[in-house]
Amino acid sequence: MYKPLALIAIFVCVTFVAQAQDSYQKKVKEYLEVTGSMAGFKVALKGMMQTFKQSKSGVPAEVWDEIEKEALGTTIDDLVTLLSPIYKQHLTESDLDEIIKFYRSPIGVKMADKTPIILQQSMQAGREWGQKLGEKVGARLKEKGYN
């Protein structure tokens, strides 16, 4: 008598947890889409596919097209599955709702649109800053007699 009830209780709990995880993953995927991160992942994936194509030049284009189309669907979903527990450690579903709301606002849309160029320019500035810092450290070490 107790075994069937226990099995039903376990099934209900597992179903509830799976639905909660699925809901959270959907929120993470939506967050990645509205922030422009998903587009970045897709660009990176297409770049990886180009590398694969170059390494296997004998494979017909239609085969690569089929593989790329499949990868864009399943691989991105796999990435969301991998990222969701990381996001869950730091953000609640309610947090994600608020962030998504921001990114759907006019200023959020602008932020998502401008982030790639800001990151690119920031990386360049960071390289310049690091180079100057390296030169200062090198000069200071030289002053102190360390070559």
List pLDDT tens digits, range 39-90.
888 888 888 889 998 998 889 989 998 998 888 877 788 999 999 999 999 9
* Amino acid code (one letter) for 90: H
Least confident of 37-41, 86-90, 92-96, 127-131: 37-41
Sign of the four-CA dihedral 33, 35, 37, 40: positive
**Proportion of the chain in helix, strand, coil states, percent, rounded to 5:** 90, 0, 10
pTM value surpassing 0.75: no
Q: What is the dihedral of CA 78, 82, 84, 90, to 10 degrees?
A: -160
Q: In the chain, pLDDT over 70 holds for what percent of residues?
A: 86
C-alpha distances in Å from residue 82, one per residue of 49, 63, 74, 100, 142: 20, 27, 12, 20, 47
